[in-house]
Every structure is written in C-alpha cells, then in structure tokens.
C-alpha cells in the first residue's frame, strides 16, 4: 500500500534524526531556557522579519497550539471567527469552547472566509443594539492552507488584516501545513508577510517532517508577559524544550523546510493533473499537498487496494469523495505508481 | 561542570535513538491507533497486572498528565487532596485550578501525607453541617517518590487506598520519577501493587531516559469512554502517538527502565553517604535519586564551581539548602568526581 | 406610551407583594432549607407529575438557569444541540461556552428544530469515523415557546424525547415563557407531559409576574447529588432562597400563573387579528404572547410614538420587523388602544 | 426561639417593601438600563467618593459577586491572596477555582491577614527563581468585617493598599456585612476611604436588610469595558435590574443602612458585655454584629432551647464554640431576653 492518507504518518526526516544522534549525551537546561531553543527562536523570528519584535514558543501539537494561543488572546467574553470547515470548528473536540470561548463559524467558500464576510459579520454585531448580550468577536482564525488545501492571496491576507485592525480583532493563522502552502506555485506571500500582517501564527512541524511539534510566532502586538505561566498551566511547556526546537533548527537552517514542501506539492499537482486528464476534477482548486476529488466508484475500487488515501462520504450513487495527501516523506516511486495507475484507469 | 541539577537535562537514551533510527521511513496511523502504540500499551498494562483491566494513554509531560487526568476524574465541585509540597500545589502554575478544581493541601511530613491525615480531613468535612458549601474532596494525589525524594511503603499505600475507597476518593499517583522510586533499596511495592491500589497513576518517561512523555495508566475502576475526546480537547493527543510509545517500548521491553533507575539511585546513595561522613545530614531520609542537604556555605563555595546542582534558600547565616539529583544519564565518572570532592572538603 | 416591548418590564404581581407583606418579620433558615421553599418545591413537583421523582431548585434568572443546568448535565467533551435562533446561541453572551461546552446550532424553521433534523445530525456524528475528534452531542435544548413565539406539539415533544433516549442525549427545555406557551389555544401538552418527556426544564417566573426567578425542575433521570455545591460554586444559590419560592408559591397555588398567561395570550391574539385585518401578516405563526410582524414603515411611524415595542432590522426599503409582546401586566386598556390605533391605520 | 443565628434570616425591611408597593405597575427597561438603577448607582458612587470615577453593578448574592469580580480582575494564571478563614476559601464551594484561579491562603490572625504577611508572601514569590512555574498573586481579598467579626483599621487598609500597588495586585474587599463594620465603635474609616484605597469592593445588602443582593463598586482603576458581557455570561445580570437597585436606594437615601447597622452592633456589644460579666470571654475581639464565644456546655444547655444561634465544634470536654449574630431585624425584646437569660445563668 502506497501511503497518501496523511502527512504526519511517516516517522521523521533523517536529518533531524542525525542531529539528535550528534547531541550525544549533551545536557540542556529545562523548559526552553537552553541555547539551542534560544537560537532556534531567533532563527525563526528573523525569517519572519520579527527580529527583536516577537516571541516564538514551541508546542507539542496543533490543537494545543490553537487552544492555548486563542485562549491567551481572547477576553473571556470573546469568540473567534472562522470558516465552517475550520479545524477548530470541526476536528478539535471543542478545545476552544473548553477554554471558554465560542467558535463563530461563517459559511465561507471552498473552506475560505472572505474579508467581506468578516466585515459584514462585525458590522451586524456592532449595529445590534443588544450586542452586549452577544458573544463579542475577538479574533479571526484562518488556516493557511485551509482544510481544503486552499490558499489566501497576499491581497486577501492584507484585507483581512485591515478589517481585523478596524474591528480590534486579533488575526491568527493556523499554519499546520504552512510549508505546503508556501511551496505552492500560486503562493504570493512569504513568512515576512505573515509576520507583518498576522498577530500570531504557527509554523507547522508535525506534518512537515519534524519529529513533532509546532513553532508559534507571536508578534509584539501581543503582550506576552503571562504566556509562559499560561502555557505551563495548560500543560503546554515541555521540560525538554530543546527537543521541539531541534526539529525546527534542522528544518529552517538550510531551507530543508521549503525543499521538502516543494517536493510534496509537486507530487500532488502531478497526481491532480493525471486525474484531471481522466476527467476527474478536483473538488476545490487546491494548489497544495492536499487534493480532494469526487471519484467514480469504479475508479475507487481499482485504486484503493493499492493506494491508501482518505475515503469520505459518498456524493451520489456512483461517486465518492476522497483526499489524496502527499507529504515530505512521499517517495517519487509511490507517486509514479499512483500516476501510472490513474493513467490505466 | 558535572550535571547533578536534574534528571531531564540529558538528551535521550541511545537505545531509544537506535530504535527510532531503525524505523526508517515506516508509516504509522495517527493519534495512537498504530500497532506500536497498541503493543506498548499492552506491555505496560501487563507489567502493572492490568491485562484487559485498564487503559494506557501517552502524554507529553507531567503537568499535562496531572491536569488532564485529575480533571477527568473529578466532578466540578471536587478538589484533590495532596501534600503542601506537592508538584500540583507548588510548581504547575495553577494547572489544577485552571481546570476548575481546588488543590486541598495538607501539611504532611517530609513531603508525605499520612493515611490518618487524609482520614481526619475527610471526617471533618463529612461532619461539618455546612459541607455542601465547601469543596468536596474527590481524589487523593501523592507522588511516588515525592518532591523530597521520599517513598510511601506498601502498607501506607494500602492504607491510603482503604481510606480512598471508604470516602469515595480516587487514588492518583504521580510517578514522574517512578523508576527511581522502584529502584530504591527501601521500595517494597511493585507496578502490580500500584495497579491494584491506585485508580490511576503515571509512569514517568521524561525524567527516566525517554525522548519525552509519560505513560498514564487508568484501571477499569475508571470509566474511560470520554477520555480520548477529553484529552483531544485539552491538546493532549499527539498526531504521532507512536513516538511517545516508542520510548516506553524500549524502556520496558527488557528491563532498561529499572536498570537505569538502579544505577542512578546507587549513585545518589553513594553521594549521600560521602556527605554524611562529612557530617552533612540529608534534610529528608530519601533513598531515591534526589538528595537534599543543608550544606555549610563553605562547602557550597568549594563544590559549586565544579558541580551543578539546585541551590535553594539559605537556612541560616551559614547554611544553604541544596538538591543533588542523579539521573539515568549520570556518568560514573561524574559521581566519582563529586564523591572525591566531598571527601576532600 | 403603552408598553408592549417586553414581559419582564413591570414590577411584580400584587398578590406576590401582598404575600411578601404578610410575612411580616418572619424568619427563615438559609439557602432554601426553609419550609416555604420545601412546600413550593413539592407543589411544583406535584403539578409536573414528579412527586417524589424529581427535584426543584430556584434560580435568579434564565441565563443562569440554562448555563448552570446544562453545564451540570453535560460531560466536558459534550455540546448541546439547539436551533440557530436559540437564546443560548444568540443572547446569553456565550454563557454555555464559558462553562466549556459548544452550542451546536441547527438551522431549524421558524425558530424550531425538528426531530428529524436532530436525528440526522446524530447519525452523521455517529457515522463519522473521526467522531472522537469532534464535539459529542450530549443534550438537546429547545425553548417552549421559542424565541419566535412558536410551540412544539405534544407529538413533536414525544419524538424529540424518543430521539434523545436513542442517542443518549438529555432533553432540556427552556421555559422562560412557559405559561404563555401553556396558555396558547394550540397547546396540547401539560406540565405533566414535560415531567414525563424532558429530563430537565424550567418554569419561568421573571417574565410571568414573579418578583424574579425561575423554577428549575430535574427529573430523577438525573443524579442530583452534586447539584447544590455546583450551583453554589456558580453563585446560583441565594441565601434568601425562600424569596424566589414565594413568587412560585403564589403563582401556582391557585392557578394564577395560568390565569395571567391566558389573559396575555388572549391580548396578543386580538392584536394579531387586528393587524392581519389590515393585511399585516405575522412573520411566524405564533399563538403565544410574542407576535412578530413585517410592518410597513408608514404604519410604524404612526404607531411608534404611542406604543412601545421592539423595533428590529428593516426587511426592505419599506418594511421593518417588529415584535409586539404582551405580558401578565398588560392592561386591557392598553390593548384596546393599540387595536383601535391599528384599525385606524 | 429568639433568632440570633444569622443576619439574612428575616424577610425584608418594611421601608423597602413600602417602596416596592408604591411602584404600582410601573414599567422599567431591562437589565439595569432603567432610571432607578442609574440613580442608585450614582447615589452609591457619590457616597464612596467616586462620582464619575467608578462603576456600580448589582449582583444577586455574595458568592456570585466574589466569583464574578475576582475572575474579571485576575489573569488566568493569577490567584488571590486571602486569610485561611476567608469566605472564598472556606464556604463558597470552590467558586474561585471553578473560574480557574487559585485561592492563596495565608494563616492570618483572628481572621485577618497583616500587611507584612502579604508583603512577605509576595517577596518570596518574586525571589523564587522558578516563579514562572508558580501561581502568580494577582489580587488581595479581605472581608470587612471578617468572618470572625474583626475590622481592619484605616492604617491597615492603607498599608495593604500600598503593598498591593507595589506588587501590582488588585485590592478587593468583601463587604457582605460592611454596614455592621462601619457601625462599630472601633471603625475609623468611611466608604470614601474604601473608594480611595480598594480597587473594587461590595456593599452587602442580603445581610443588611435588603430584599436581596449586593452592590459591587469598581473604581476607575479597573477597565470595565467587558464587565457587562462577562456578568451576563456568568448569569449575573438580572432582567429586573431595578429590583436590586431599589433596596439600595431605600437603604442609602436617608441613612437607613447605618441606622440599622448601628442598632444591630449595639445589641451585639450589650450581649457580649453580659457574657463577659459572666466570665465568658469572646474568642476574637470583635466589635461588630457577630460575636464568638467558647461557652461552658452547662450554659449552652440552658440557653439553646430559647435562643437560636450557631453551635460549632466542641473546644474541649466542657466548652463549645458558638456564634451569636445580631441583625438589622433583631428586636430589642429579643436582645433583652437574651441578656436577662445570660445574667441568670
């Protein structure tokens, strides 16, 4: 079975393993106070254009990062605006609500919410004479790329930023698959743009070849005085803080993060083209590593014994929704096999 | 500087690194649904005498484990009884309260609370005619060994268990350093005893040579139906669940966990003896890897440039409290140097 | 200005004031342990067909009642299903989320959710292979009548009850305006039906002539052991518990609750008829004390200087949404004036 | 039985009942937006020296007030310092922890904590190199008078205020029995002093003759922008906001609050003197309406059939702790009877 079902299923990139081995019996001070953590934080801030103007903290996973950071940003009576299909709305078991805040979901389109949609919601809230009885919007959450593999353009990010500032909302970006977004041929923004436009975001590691973990980036538009005790009380501070840092150090020192992402996105787009040539059109115009299709059941029957991918709900009596997901670890031979199989359908 | 300041400062045991390397590009299903996780859970349950009678779940760290499990066990109006010096009371930034529960601290002695102390507290609570206005005790928390390096005897564990069952309290054990407790020459209980007496406990990994993480063990006296979504919403489920399992698999398959623990405890006791021979008596009669002393400042001045250990508050004008902590990673040569230095004081 | 803008705007029914005066300097024991509270609880349970099979507790207001009871019923990883327009979703400032739970809103129709809609949601949840990562439905919330003044029929209540039991959901009814529902000519259920079908509900007082407060009714399908300390820790137990009980005692001893409700509903229906005769149709087919209309702006201009009612958003360039609300305190003369004014439009 | 067991047991002061009756069928706008509420807020602010420099909000009870205001003031990682015997520590069922914050109890003396004790605690916290792992103190809570009936002097209040400002702590005063404190012959401070020194406090109503409720006073050292939605989501905003205001209007317009308090304190001090003359000394040197004694069991046997008071734990084989509590409603004849009975012991 060739694995196309996720991007966190493969163990770890060999360069990270090598770096871990080379540590030998090196000792570190605890809770991220070590020099490797400090250097890695500085490296990431620099790449985000936030040298001396931000904070990086390492977390163990995406749900933890979203839940801890959004709870840190929001006032108790505030909620976070996002798309209906957002991970915090759909697949985090109510982590945001468990920390006391509403997820305010807007319909969006193809998994994206538009600047106008956000603005309209905020205007309606402000105009409602009873709005003190309502959940106040306090932040906007987008994922980049979205759950559907879609990207926001630089202009869209700028527009959302403008609206956030006008309505005093924090702009938060979930970058679980950030690399696969940046590696898209359609991507017209950089980490530095995110540093300038978002108030906080995270650079995904778990799905991008790291041993595990995410790097949360907070700009200095956020008061981070209480962040450490807050993370600590949420169980989000690891004694071996250097361990998460290590993955990011390896991934970001020499461009490995982008190299791996580009390879995966290239594979995804070649698979997409093969399916399109067979008349199977993508459900969303995704240019990243996740590709969704409405596949004829006959094709599904022939592909699924050899290729593992997510099989969703049936769309009608003869079609089924599937997701094909490439990863930093997807081998060229796997991709080749899948493309051949598609051609022979 | 020879490191005696903690047991989580060294990278990771080489056998774990080797096992990680040997995985190559193996793929795992996510969130602990893989076979390595399943096998490791079974292995641990078996060693705890809980085959088919319990659940193991892997967590990223100790504060997370305590906070998530205690919140899972307690009803909203319940608190957890523990010693004044307990980690949850002193050093977890209010994680228990952040999940809505009071930490009910009893004075204890040398870091331990006695069965009688717990019983008296519960009787006072029950007798108080206004107790519906008070925090109801819902669990007892002990650490094994304690923050002071002390152990509870099997009889004490049995007595606490008896009291817990009489007063309908869950009995929870924080085993961040469980191995160093089991490796003590004074230890008269086993993992199977914990499985029989405690309702839930965790086997520490972070401080015991694992890459990171803890293995929480829940007996079937606890309804675990909601445990997965609860952990998920607290950000305590890792996509790469197999990674935490891997460390425990290596540590527990062939007795490595106990071997490493014994070595560290042996070193600690030799250091203690050397200091005792110099007339420096331990603050608590610890027989585990943590040793606390009230050291003459003159000795401190001579040792501290060469040996790193925790330096606490001054006890009087001429003495200071220190902690010397050995670890799975403490080299014999380091211990030897420290003992020599002590002898030459 | 004749008041038609709400049902909690007038002070208090004179009979309650009289009963309060007659107490003189009577002393009561605290926190609802007095005999007046006990008798009133028994009276209400009896009327709900729950003699010896339920619990009544008095609360200070509707948001408090919803937030406290739903949080008491739900497990931490569960949410509550309701209509998009539900009070808990729209107008309680996120009280449900503030206690850690998601409000799962279904579209509904005219403010009501259908049994089928609930069932479909639950089936989708159960079928989703990743549902352990999602918010688990734990309860269904309806209001009776709804925010739009609509009623559920006995058959609909029975169907919702059946679905709740099949999917292990608590069935919770918000009865802030319960009397105005029971007084509707369309109502085909009684308090005893609610006692049999719902797991918990509340009988509104604040909007029904009480001094203030609501009477929450919990059937013995709910374990109420922890209810008192839970309410206490949420600030929902009043020292003068007898005071809330007093209003319900007066309202329920001799049928005053229904008499007042019937009068108000009769007035509402006469006003509705007058508007219908002018061609102004109600927005929802409400047969209770709240009537919503899409009124021509010309009419609005002529009525609003003399009659106070809720004025909502404009529906189009020439119409505006309004709510006319009668109450236990609405005087016949006010209603007469409004009807005359409508006839003269 | 003459009632001396509490100060919230009697119904309501007749002047308040009269004012309520005089309202007739007056209509009010909801949620405290009415003119009676506005006037009463202004009246109280004025008496506290906070005209245009503070906010008053009315709450239904003391536990609610403490829980809501402290949660509003504290950051998630902060706790509140108080005496071991404080109401929030002892008798609110964990309401503070239920909102996520630790109650940090200091031993105190006679129910009071000293400025020095607070300062020492804060210094220890600041000096601890691991304090980011600890609960950060964020506020100081005192009650005035305390649970033991004791008062802080103006100098003590000033000193606590100074320490609070130095260590960036909010200074919060629980005034459930504030009147009985101000009416003490030993009291050397006024409402204006509290307005100047505390950041927030509440003026008790429930125990002082009001129908029910408390008036919370927040100075403009607190940002109150989110206070309304926060209170709303905690279920602490009543639709009939004017009702709580009404009691305070009556109590504060013409000095009734102090008149009633003085009468009750005078009675308490006369009872105390009678007991002292019999050689029964008070447990604490209270000069307010609560008097605690260690009474010979023989006396207890003779008094308890005729006088209702709180009977606590036995102090030794021949003595029992009791509390005698006078109230705004205590009749002179009751006090006379008790004094006679004491003289005849």
The residue ranges of every structural domain in chain A are 2-7+257-343, 14-254
Given a contact cutoff of 8 angstroms between Cβ atoms, the answer to whether A73 and A138 are in contact is yes
Q: Do D232 and A75 touch (CB under 8 A)?
A: no
Tokens of C170: 């608590």
User: What's the pLDDT tens digit per position in D39-71?
Assistant: 999 999 999 999 999 999 999 999 999 999 999
Asked if D31 and C93 count as a contact pair (C-beta separation under 8 A), the reply is: no
**Nearest beta carbon to residue B229 from set C132, C230, C233:** C132
Q: What is the rounded average pLDDT of the residues B138-154?
A: 98
Which chain A residues are closer than 8 Å to C102 by Cβ? Answer: 94, 97, 102-103
Helix (H) or strand (E) holding D263: helix D256-277
Beta bridge partners of B59: B214
Calculate mean pLDDT across residues C260-268.
98
Residue D31 scores a pLDDT above 90: yes
What pLDDT does A253 receive?
Answer: 97
Q: Is residue C63 classed as helix, strand or coil in its secondary structure?
A: helix
How far does CA A338 lie from the centroid of its chain? 26
pLDDT of D313: 84
Chain A residues closer than 8 Å to B8 by CB: 30, 239-240
Read off the pLDDT of each residue in B65-78 and give the average, rounded to a whole number.
98
Task: Say yes or no: D312 contacts chain B, CB-CB below 8 A.
Answer: no
Whether the predicted pLDDT of C83 surpasses 90 = yes
Establish if C234 touches chain D: CB-CB under 8 angstroms.
Answer: yes
Residue in chain A lying closest to C136 (CA) = A93
pLDDT-based confidence at B25, cuts 50/70/90?
confident
Question: Three-state SS for A203?
Answer: strand
User: What is the per-residue pLDDT for C313?
Assistant: 84
- Per-residue pLDDT of D267-317, as tens digits, reads 999 999 999 999 999 999 999 999 999 999 999 999 999 999 999 888 899
pLDDT tens per residue, range A47-70 = 999 999 999 999 999 999 999 999
Instruction: Answer yes or no: are the C-beta atoms of A81 and A253 closer than 8 Å.
Output: no
B8 touches chain A (CB under 8 A): yes
Residue in chain A closest to C98 (alpha carbons) equals A100
Pairing of strands D200-204, D214-219: antiparallel
Q: If you average pLDDT over residues B289-316, what whole number do you get?
A: 95
ipTM over 0.90: yes
CA distance A110 to chain C (A): 20
Distance CA B301, CA D180 (A): 58
Asked if B24 lies within 8 A of A3 by C-beta distance, the reply is: no
Q: What is the CATH number of domain A2-7+257-343?
A: 3.90.1150.10
Among C78, C94, C99, C138, most A C-beta atoms within 10 A, so best to mutate, is C94
pLDDT for res D75: 98
Contact, B310 vs B323, CB < 8 A? Answer: yes
Which chains have 3 or more CB–CB distances shorter than 8 Å to chain D?
Answer: A, B, C
What lies within 8 Å, CB to CB, of D272 at 6+ separation is: D282, D286, D291
**Considering chain A, what is the average pLDDT of its residues?**
97
Which pLDDT belongs to residue A260? 98
Q: Is D323 an interface residue toward B (CB < 8 Å)?
A: no
**B311 and D CB contact within 8 Å:** no
What residue in A sits closest to B235 (Cα-Cα)?
A: A64
Res. B313: pLDDT tops 90: no
Confidence of residue A313 (pLDDT cuts 50, 70, 90): confident
Dihedral, D174, D177, D180, D181 alpha carbons, nearest 10: -10
Split at pLDDT 50, 70, 90, the class of A244 is: very high
Residue A162 is encoded by which pair of tokens? 């403008």
User: Which of B87, B90, B97 to probe the D interface (max D CBs under 10 A)?
Assistant: B97
Mutate to test the interface with C, among B76, B134, B136, B235 (most CBs of C within 10 A): B76
DSSP state of A60: S
The pLDDT score that the predictor gives to residue C163 is 98
pLDDT band at D204, cuts 50/70/90? very high
Look at residue C190 in the predicted model and tell me its pLDDT.
98
C147 contacts chain A (CB < 8 A): no
Please give the CATH topology (third level) of the domain spanning A14-254: 3.40.640
Measured between CA atoms, the residue of chain D closest to residue C18 is D21
pLDDT at D64: 98
User: Residue range A31-46: average pLDDT?
Assistant: 98
Residues D273, D276, D280, CA angle at the centre, nearest 5°?
140
- Cα–Cα distance between C94 and D232 in angstroms, integer? 9
B103 CB neighbours in chain D (<8 A) are: 102
pLDDT at C85 over 90: yes
Q: Which tokens hold the place of A304?
A: 């699924």
Q: How many residues does chain B have?
A: 345
Determine whether the interchain pair A101/C97 forms a contact, defined as Cβ–Cβ distance below 8 Å: yes
Residues of C in contact with D216 (CB under 8 A): none
**What single-letter DSSP state applies at residue A280?**
-
Least Cα separation, residue B62 to chain C (angstroms): 21
Under an 8 A CB cutoff, do D76 and A71 touch? yes
Average pLDDT estimate for C101-108: 97
What is the pLDDT at residue B143? 98
User: CA C66, C69, C70 angle in degrees (round to 5)?
Assistant: 75
Q: Is B61 close to A26, i.e. CB distance below 8 A?
A: no
Band (A213; pLDDT cuts 50, 70, 90): very high
Contacts of D90 in chain B (CB under 8 A): 134
The residue-averaged pLDDT of D72-92 equals 97
Angle among Cα A102, A104, A107 to the nearest 5 degrees reads 155
**Judged by CB atoms within 8 Å, which residues 68-97 of B form the interface with C?**
71, 75-77
The pLDDT score that the predictor gives to residue A97 is 98
**Does the beta carbon of B233 lie under 8 angstroms from any beta carbon of chain A?**
yes
- D168 in Cβ contact with D161 (< 8 Å): no
Instruction: Report chain B residues whose CB lies below 8 A from the CB of D93.
Output: 77, 132-135
Confidence at residue A25, expressed as pLDDT on a 0 to 100 scale: 87
- Looking at chain A, list the stretches that DSSP marks H as alpha helix, in order from N- to C-terminal side: 14-22, 35-47, 62-73, 87-90, 95-98, 115-127, 154-166, 178-182, 191-197, 227-233, 241-253, 256-277, 297-303, 332-343
Give the nearest chain C residue to D93 (CA atoms): C233
What percent of chain A has a predicted confidence (pLDDT) above 90? 98
pLDDT tens by residue, C153-165: 999 999 999 999 9
Residue A133 to residue D230, Cβ atoms within 8 A: no
Give A308→chain B minimum CA distance, Å: 11
Name the pTM for this structure. Answer: 0.97
């Amino acid at each position: 079975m060739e694995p196309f079902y996720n991007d966190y299923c493969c163990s770890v990139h060999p360069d990270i393993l090598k770096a871990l081995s080379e540590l030998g019996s090196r000792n570190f001070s605890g809770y991220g106070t070590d020099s490797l953590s400090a250097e890695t934080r500085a490296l990431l801030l620099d790449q985000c254009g936030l040298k001396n103007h931000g904070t990086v903290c390492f977390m163990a996973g995406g749900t933890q990062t979203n839940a801890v950071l959004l709870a840190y940003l929001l006032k108790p009576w505030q909620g976070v605006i996002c798309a209906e299909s957002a991970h915090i709305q759909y697949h985090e078991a109510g982590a945001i609500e468990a920390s006391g805040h509403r997820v305010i979901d807007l319909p969006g389109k193809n998994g994206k919410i538009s600047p106008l949609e956000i603005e309209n919601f905020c205007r309606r809230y402000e105009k409602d004479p009873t709005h003190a009885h309502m959940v106040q919007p306090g932040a906007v959450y987008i994922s980049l790329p979205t759950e559907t593999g879609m990207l926001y353009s630089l202009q869209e990010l700028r527009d959302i930023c403008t609206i956030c500032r006008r309505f005093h909302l924090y702009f938060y970006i979930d970058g679980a698959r950030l690399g696969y977004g940046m590696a898209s041929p359609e991507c017209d923004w950089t980490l530095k743009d995110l540093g300038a436009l978002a108030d906080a975001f995270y650079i995904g590691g778990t799905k991008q070849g790291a041993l595990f973990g995410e790097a949360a980036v907070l700009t200095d538009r956020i008061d981070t005085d209480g962040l450490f005790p807050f993370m600590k009380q949420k169980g989000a501070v690891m004694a071996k803080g250097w361990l998460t840092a290590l993955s990011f150090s390896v991934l970001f020192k020499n461009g490995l993060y982008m190299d791996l992402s580009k390879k995966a996105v290239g594979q995804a787009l070649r698979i997409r083209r093969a399916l399109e040539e067979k008349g199977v059109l993508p459900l969303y115009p995704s240019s990243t590593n996740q590709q969704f299709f409405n596949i004829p059941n006959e094709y599904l029957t022939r592909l699924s014994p050899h290729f593992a991918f997510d099989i969703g709900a049936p769309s009608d009596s003869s079609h089924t929704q599937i997701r094909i997901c490439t990863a930093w670890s997807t081998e060229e031979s796997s991709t080749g096999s899948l493309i051949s199989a598609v051609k022979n359908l």
